[in-house]
Structure 1
Amino acid sequence: MAFKFEELKIWQISLKLSNEIDVVAKKFPSIELFSLTNQIKKAADSVNLNIAEGCIGQSKAEFSRFLTYSVRSGLEVVSCLFMASSRNYITEPEFKRLYSEYEQLCKMISKLKSTL
């Protein structure tokens, strides 16, 4: 692996989840294309991208800051999941699974952040 972030479990999980959100968001109605669909996909990608960007920083404080951004983006995904669920764009099992996976990921990111 050429880059340090590739070895991080949180990066690997966030990449997997970002891809899962992409698949789920494609099922949203076309009226949501430039709103909820775009927002949830950007937030999911942001979790992953902030981990990678922060990992190559020059200090632990900088990495910590980017991990905070990742958690915030993860919470944004969760909020979008609530909206998608309330609008019946995703099933209850999809919601519960993704909610749980983002909850675990955010905890893992916060745990790493606390060790810096």
Structure 2
Amino acid sequence: MLLQWNKYAQRLGEKGFKIMESLLLINDPVLNGTSISIELPNEGSKLDFEKELHGLLGHLKGHLHNHDITIDIIVNEAYESKRSYNDQDRYNRLLEINPNIELLRTTFGLDLHT
């Protein structure tokens, strides 16, 4: 489920929908049976997310072959991003997206610690 979630987010990002991509990637959704829960930091984020909800559900239902999937949006005003943002974490995230980053790093002798 998480793989298809991230693929959908990446596809939105490639189409220029960066805000929606960041909302999808703000934290990992939690799967409980056929219900997916996502925690967002405020009501504005929830409204933006709901605009793309139909497309996301269609993508997940089709690719996961499960038409019982539902998405619950939880607004947590006290939410703090669960993703770390140090250099190693950024590098690992980029490496997930494009494994050729490692080739680039070794070819040019780039160092993560500046």
Structure exhibiting the larger radius of gyration computed from Cα positions = 2
Higher RCO (C-alpha 8 Å, min separation 6):
1
TM-score normalised by structure 1 residue count: 0.31
| TM-score, structure 2 normalization | 0.31
